[in-house]
Amino acid sequence: MRRKLRVGVVGTGRISLDRHIPNYLKSHDVELVAIADPLVSSLNLAGNRFGIGARYYSYKKMIDTEKLDIISICTPNVFHKDMVIYALEHGINVLCEKPLGLNESEILEMREASINNNKLLSVGHHYRYMPEVWAAKKIIDSGEIGKPYIVRVQALRNRGIPTWGVFHKKKYQGGGALIDYGIHLLDVALWLTGNRKLIKVNAFSSSHIAKRDDVNPWGQWNKEEFDVEDHITAQLVFEDNLIMNLEVAWAVNIPETRNTLSISGIEGGVEVFPFELFKPKHGMLFNCGASYIPGDRVDPGEALISDFINAVKEGRQTRVRLEEVLHLAKVIDSIYENADSK
Ligand SMILES: NC(=O)c1ccc[n+]([C@@H]2O[C@H](COP(=O)([O-])OP(=O)(O)OC[C@H]3O[C@@H](n4cnc5c(N)ncnc54)[C@H](O)[C@@H]3O)[C@@H](O)[C@H]2O)c1
């Protein structure tokens, strides 16, 4: 019988508790052997909740001691690069939370470490495992909607400023609403439209709401330290005249939170959430939903972890490729650079 792969998790905050630890524990192919976090309360909460005995304050100590096959990195963004590279250099396959790095140049370094050490590196873009996203990809790639030429991406929370961790500080996160929240839909939008080369950007960012006293159902955030955007909008022009209109907010004055990803082609269109296909046909306009999409009973977070484990076992890539992650980072860098220049 094949031995179980040994897994360690670095960072025992929200995403670790909600996604990584529980889904590793569900798998029959791995054994979650250790966790690491310098914050004793966080480390013990995770350890006690999931019955994990081996607990480390230092991720390096965990890596040096535990002979791991797989590691999940679930820490603030600024720590990802050094942790990922240290793990890869110690022969461990790495699943890192998004964003993989603060910018493209960090990700290039990580990719090099992955190649040089022949270990898998992938990222927690769980939206890629949503059935609606899979369905949209299938339809667009089939040519059903013709050539896509306009994409609408809206990741808009009426109010949802993160109040835990360090999401409000640029030096830890690299940015605000876009790199934290908009990144999911932007990643999917780029993937669905074939990761075309970015030609032009016009972007504007602001933090009107987060810099003052305001309402937030998630509680009080640190407005004095807040130095990232709570709202950003950009028009992106990609090669072959594909236009993407992007708007992302942690807080904006609209009636309710909405996630829109809508792609129009010359022959038809696709709305991803909820999934719908539009077609002009026989002199009529059709709107068509899907009553069954493969994978629609699997939680995308579980599918992500399971794909990573299987990819390690089978020596293949995951659904999320590093080339795509680099392209995404390049686009995000360009949006921030353009917005910051105003
Ligand atoms: N995929 C998603 O939908 C999703 C959702 C939330 C967060 N995330 C990502 O997950 C990461 C963590 O976010 P979170 O919400 O869990 O934050 P969090 O603040 O709840 O948890 C972060 C944890 O990392 C720990 N940490 C800090 N420095 C460390 C170090 N040197 N070594 C080990 N642990 C360290 C902190 O003590 C904390 O327990 C971020 O990169 C974030 O963007 C992804």
Domain limits of the chain? 5-123+300-319, 128-297
Ligand 1 neighbourhood includes 75 CB (under 6 angstroms): yes
Alpha-carbon distance of 265 to 263, in angstroms, equals: 7
What is the tens place of the pLDDT at every residue in 187-204?
999 999 999 999 999 999
Q: What's the whole-number average pLDDT of the chain?
A: 96
What tokens does 195 get?
Answer: 């990761």
What pLDDT band is residue 141 in, cutting at 50, 70 and 90? very high
Range name among 55-64, 216-225, 263-272, 290-299 with the lowest pLDDT average: 290-299
Tell me the CATH number for domain 5-123+300-319.
Answer: 3.40.50.720
Alpha-carbon distance of 129 to 147, in angstroms, equals: 24
Strand order in the sheet with 5-10: 54-56, 30-36, 5-10, 70-73, 93-96, 121-123
Report whether CATH 3.30.70.3280 matches the domain 128-297: no
Provide the whole-model pTM: 0.96
The pLDDT of residue 303 is above 80 = yes
Best mutation site among 10, 37, 44, 82 for ligand 1, i.e. most ligand atoms within 8 A of its Cβ? 37
Coil vs helix vs strand at 264: strand
What pLDDT band is residue 298 in, cutting at 50, 70 and 90? confident
Report the separation in Å between the CA atom of 66 and the middle of ligand 1, taken as the mean of its atom positions.
21
Ligand 1 neighbourhood includes 61 CB (under 6 angstroms): no
Range name among 39-53, 69-83, 118-132, 293-307 with the lowest pLDDT average: 293-307
